[in-house]
Amino acid sequence: MITSETNKDIKKIIGLLEKSKNRRKEDSYVVEGLKMVFEIPKEDIREVYISKTCYENIASGNVDKRIVDVKSFNKEGESELGFPYKVISDALFKKISDTVTPQGILAIVKRKHYKLNDILNRKVKKDGLPDKQVIMILDDLRDPGNLGTIIRTCEAAGVSGIILSKESVDIYNPKVVRSTMGAILRVPFYESEDLKEDIKKIKQENFKLYAAHLGGKKLYNEVKKDGAYGFIIGNEANGISDEVAALADELVIIPMYGNVESLNAAIAASILMFS
């Protein structure tokens, strides 16, 4: 059992949680919590770490069987899950955890590397609902909670994928990962090095792009949305950059009562996605 903060595994976990440059260097990120860890495709898992109490609960079957589909952990380092794990003392796990009330399990996971065409060519299908080919473009979105909520909403709304500008918050920031509630494992995303050039490529593929903008002349629900289309959401403080806004097919506005000037970015994105 690991009990020391100086252990190399613990140092690695802390480094991945604290700095995006470490996540890029290791090509890995951290997922925490029973439900999310057990949703990770096994081939994407590098390592799993479990607190002593969580280990004992799983070994004795004292865990939600809808989440943890495993009979027991027979001995440390082996499990029926198909991946190795290590046990950490409860006190140490609480120290390194990124949550207030840790569930006692975390995984180091391989980063995904999607291409732009992976998103543009993806259609979302669901029985009883029309096929969708919708994308979400995020221009300089900085708040981890907003990005996580948008990713989660994208899955619920049937969005094909997300394109982020390079100035946006790191998608593997632990606060982003946690607030996606697992959707980060399923929603494709592309981290653009040059958003303006990529938007031009997107338009060449016949996507119509609608940007949420205070200068919009049309209401968000008045524009015709059929075929392949996408929405653009901007920075929380400054909105969409002028250069990106100029590339949109239409600037749209969400009407509001009262003296509110703008909506939270995640809320605005949700309204557009479900319109």
The CATH code for residues 8-110 is: 3.30.1330.30
Burial pattern 92-105, b for ≥16 Cβ within 10 A else e, equals bbeebbbeeebbbb
pLDDT of the chain, 275 residues: tens digit per residue: 999 999 999 999 999 999 999 999 999 999 999 899 989 998 999 999 999 998 888 777 777 666 665 544 445 555 555 667 899 999 999 999 988 899 999 999 999 999 999 999 999 988 888 788 999 999 999 999 999 999 999 999 999 999 999 999 999 999 999 999 999 999 999 999 999 999 999 999 999 999 999 889 899 999 888 899 999 999 999 999 999 999 999 999 999 999 888 899 999 999 999 98
Given this structure, which CATH class describes domain 116-273?
A: alpha beta
Q: Specify the pTM.
A: 0.91
In this structure, which amino acid lies at residue 94? K
Where would I find the H helices in 19-165?
20-26, 34-37, 52-60, 90-96, 116-120, 144-157
Between CA 243 and CA 67 the distance in angstroms is 46
Q: Domain locations in the chain?
A: 8-110, 116-273
The token pair at 189 is 């995303």
Q: Is the dihedral of CA 60, 66, 67, 69 positive or negative?
A: positive
The three-state secondary structure class of 109 is strand
